[in-house]
Amino acid sequence: ETGVTQTPRHLVMGMTNKKSLKCEQHLGHNAMYWYKQSAKKPLELMFVYSLEERVENNSVPSRFSPECPNSSHLFLHLHTLQPEDSALYLCASSQELAGVYNEQFFGPGTRLTVL
Amino acid sequence: AQKVTQAQTEISVVEKEDVTLDCVYETRDTTYYLFWYKQPPSGELVFLIRRNSFDEQNEISGRYSWNFQKSTSSFNFTITASQVVDSAVYFCALSEATTDSWGKLQFGAGTQVVVTP
């Protein structure tokens, strides 16, 4: 595997389900990110981790719970979601959080549908 | 306030035509970075270029070229001799160096490019 991978690629879940999205980066980067991309809306930054520490939580509802067990893996745990949470969830990583090595590399995304 | 403006929502061209995507940004920082990403129908954002605020030299990479003008706060992107594979959404993004923003990417709304044969 190379780059940033995400699983699953597609997920359909009911409002009472619990599921998790997984992201893995094979680039040796120190920072990882979760974004939400809804139709007709700009990319929304959800969470940021740097060296496994959460740097930012952009007023995301508690039904989304991130986890970063190590610098290569990032999870997004989902529970009691709403239909408006249906979106493409993108994971990204960068070598550093800021500075000259901050370009982010993205995974293919998980297309989430909440029924 | 929106820091990155991509005024063009969608551009449709016929193959082999050139297409220019506009990006206007807003920042008070003297040190910042500008990016372009491509998002094909598959969904993955593909990094195309990063430019820092101290380097106004234009860049060309194959059929892609970028025009950075600090005087007008613009970082425009041109695809020369477009191909069907160029059909995608293109995002411009800004990263500021201030402590509060820690360099996070602030994306524009994106421009959908449709290239027809």
A102 contact residues in B (CB cutoff 8 A): 33, 95, 103
For residues B19 and A73, give the distance between their C-alpha atoms in angstroms, rounded to a whole number: 38
CB-CB under 8 Å, A97 with B102: yes
CB-CB under 8 Å, A55 with B47: no
**Beta-bridge mates of residue A34:** A47, A91
Dihedral sign from CA coordinates of A74, B108, B19, A89? positive
For residues B53 and B22, give the distance between their C-alpha atoms in angstroms, rounded to a whole number: 17
Indicate the range of A5-19, A60-74, B90-104 predicted with least confidence: B90-104
Instruction: Report pLDDT for A1.
Output: 63
Cβ proximity of A47 and A31 under 8 Å: no
CB-CB under 8 Å, B47 with A105: yes
Residue among A45, A97, A106 minimizing CB distance to B45: A106
One pLDDT digit (tens) per residue for chain B, 117 residues:
679 999 999 999 999 999 999 999 999 888 888 999 999 988 889 999 988 888 888 888 899 999 999 999 999 999 999 999 999 999 999 988 765 556 688 899 999 999 999
What is the mean pLDDT of the segment spanning A98-110? 84
What is the mean pLDDT of the segment spanning A34-48? 89
Residue with tokens 């745990």: A77
Instruction: Report pLDDT for B105.
Output: 86
10 Å Cβ neighbour count for A5? Answer: 15
For residues B64 and A84, give the distance between their C-alpha atoms in angstroms, rounded to a whole number: 37
